[in-house]
Amino acid sequence: MENPLPDLDVGGHSITCAQCGRVAWVLVPDATLCYPCARLRFPPKAEGNPLAVLADEMRRGPYEFTCIRCGAAAVRPVPTQHCYACAGTLLAEHIARVEAAERAKQEERDREHEAARRRWANIPRLEWTWERLEPRSDVVGLQEAVEAARAWAKGEGLPFLVLSGDRGSGKSHIAAAAVRGILDAGGWTHYEGVAVMLDRFRRAIGQGLGQDAVTDEIAASANLVLDDLGAERGTGQTGAGAWAQERLYLILDARWREKRRTLVTTNYSSDVLAARLGDTGQAIVDRLWDKETTCVVLLRGPSYRTGRTW
């Protein structure tokens, strides 16, 4: 059989196909040349050469052999002695398997990515969503706080949002719902209860862990929620307690300087909060109440939990 595609200058020789029995023309004699050697010996010169696809695929596949030209171990996607029609079928099946394996790997990477996002979000209570926040006409500022938090979660408005108000007025619920909103939209966010976070900082320094390892991830989070700031007094602390308070200041200072999106809830006014946070209190409050970077919403009314007005 003569070369059926002389204008493509593909080289090769005729064979009897091991699968269909037809006499056919093959690109590489006995398929014993590795891909680089085959490309040197039989370069497909014509633009759009249909055989080039098969030649390109010779780099991949489960069939191992040793190149008779350079001695290199190589693989190809189809066994030897097949016509291009049969080789094309086998090649298509091979490519389908490769693509299916790649899809499976990508799906696994996506699952791991999603699991990591949700672990990092650290949502305190999954039931705290926008839909489950009960409207209350007796809580002044509630609707404003919800609208401000929704906008903040969408990346709108000023980077800092402070919700300040009475105990049980819905601040933590709103903050958790904002975290959930960012997470459901595919973003990265992180929630920390401040008292728990400071306790973790103290234990970390007590265990000799590096300062940067403890705080850098929180400081660099794309979106950060710090709930119940001021719940733990900072006045008069020494040692690990003072270090933990300093870490809190450094986190907020870094985020304020870089204008990273940060939502803070507190039961206290700015003056009371500054006094409760100790040596770094005034510096923290100055940053949180900065009019250029922060939206402050005040909530006043009876507690969702007890019905009591504080």
The more confident residue out of 216 and 120 is 120
Answer yes or no: is 305 within a domain.
no
pLDDT > 90: percent of the chain: 42
Q: What is the mean pLDDT of residues 5-23?
A: 56
Please tell me the predicted confidence (pLDDT) of residue 304.
73
pLDDT above 70 for 219: yes
In a domain, 307, yes or no: no
Least Cα distance to 152 among 287, 251, 297 occurs for: 297
Q: Are residues 284 and 213 in the same domain?
A: yes
If you count them, how many residues does the chain have?
A: 310
Quickly state the pLDDT bin for 236 (edges 50, 70, 90): low
Across residues 67-87, what is the average pLDDT?
Answer: 60
What's the pLDDT tens digit per position in 249-262? 999 999 999 999 99
Q: Are the CB atoms for 160 and 262 separated by under 8 Å?
A: yes
Same domain, 180 and 219: yes
Residues 129, 239 share a domain: yes
* 59 and 164, same domain (yes or no): no
Higher pLDDT, 202 or 274: 274
Whether residue 289 sits in one domain with residue 148: yes
Confidence of residue 93 (pLDDT cuts 50, 70, 90): confident
pLDDT digits (tens, 9 = 90+) for 259-293: 999 999 999 999 999 999 888 999 999 999 999 99
Q: Per the domain annotation, does 108 fall within a domain? A: no
Residue 72 maps to a domain? yes
Domain range for residue 38? 6-96
Strands 13-16, 261-266: pairing kind: unpaired
Report the pLDDT value the prediction gives residue 199, as an integer from 0 to 100: 84
pLDDT(187) > 70: yes
Percent of the chain with pLDDT over 70: 62
Q: Is the pLDDT of residue 307 over 80?
A: no
On whether residue 114 sits in a domain, the answer given is: no
pLDDT of residue 257: 95
196 and 59 in a common domain: no
Q: Tell me: do 74 and 152 sit in the same domain.
A: no
With respect to residue 169, please indicate whether it lies within any of the assigned structural domains. Answer: yes
Show the tokens assigned to 138.
């007796």
CATH number reported for the structural domain that contains residue 208 in this entry: 3.40.50.300
Same domain membership, residue 254 and residue 149: yes
| Block residue for tokens 């190589």 | 74
Number of domains observed in the structure of the chain: 2
User: Does residue 211 have a pLDDT over 60?
Assistant: no
What's the pLDDT at 25? 56
Q: Above 60 in pLDDT, residue 34?
A: no
Please indicate, yes or no, whether residues 59 and 140 belong to a single structural domain of this protein.
Answer: no
